[in-house]
Amino acid sequence: MKSPFKATHVVLGLLCVMYFITYVDRVNIGTAASAIKTEFGFSNIELGWIFSAFAYPYALFQIFGGWMGDRFGPRRTLFWCGIIWATATVLTGLAGGFLSLFLVRFLLGIGEGATFPTATRAMQYWTAPGQRGFAQGITHSFARLGNAITPPIVAALTEAFTWRGSFVILGLVSFIWVIAWVWYFRDEPKDHPAITPEELAILPARRPGPRPSAPLGPLFKRMWPVTLTYFCYGWTLWLYLNWLPLFFLNNYKIDIKQSAIFAAGVFLAGVVGDTLGGVLSDKILHRTGNIRLARLSIILLGFVGAFLSLLPILYYHDITTVAICLASGFFFAELIIGPIWSIPMDIAPKYSGTAAGLMNTGSAIAAIVSPVVAGYVIDWTGNWELPFIMSMGLLAVGAVSTFLMRPELPYAEGDMPMKAMA
Q: Residue ranges per domain, the chain?
A: 7-188+214-411
- Which phi-psi region, left, alpha or beta, contains residue 416 (left: φ > 0; alpha: ψ -120 to 50)? beta
Indicate the DSSP class of residue 204: P
Residue 389's identity, in one-letter code, is: I
Q: What is the rounded distance in angstroms from the CA atom of residue 123 to the CA atom of residue 12?
A: 8
Mean pLDDT of 24-53: 86
Distances from the Cα of 342 to the Cα of 132, 278, 346, 421, angstroms = 6, 9, 6, 21
pLDDT of residue 208: 54
Mean pLDDT of 238-257: 80
Q: What is the rounded distance in angstroms from the CA atom of residue 27 to the CA atom of residue 144?
A: 10
256-301, pLDDT tens digit by residue? 677 778 888 888 888 888 889 988 998 999 899 999 999 999 999 9
CA–chain centroid gap for 232, Å, is 13
CA–chain centroid gap for 248, Å, is 23
pLDDT at 181 exceeding the cut of 90: yes
pLDDT of residue 147: 77
pLDDT of residue 418: 39
DSSP string, 220-235: HHHHHHHHHHHHHHHH
Instruction: Give counts: helices (H), strands (E), the chain.
Output: 16, 0
Q: What is the rounded distance in angstroms from the CA atom of residue 157 to the CA atom of residue 317?
A: 31
102-114, pLDDT tens digit by residue? 999 999 999 998 8
Q: What is the rounded distance in angstroms from the CA atom of residue 366 to the CA atom of residue 52?
A: 9
Domain formed by 7-188+214-411, architecture: Up-down Bundle (1.20)
- Let me know: does 340 contact 226? Beta carbons within 8 Å: yes
CA–chain centroid gap for 49, Å, is 20
pLDDT of residue 296: 96
pLDDT at 417 exceeding the cut of 50: no
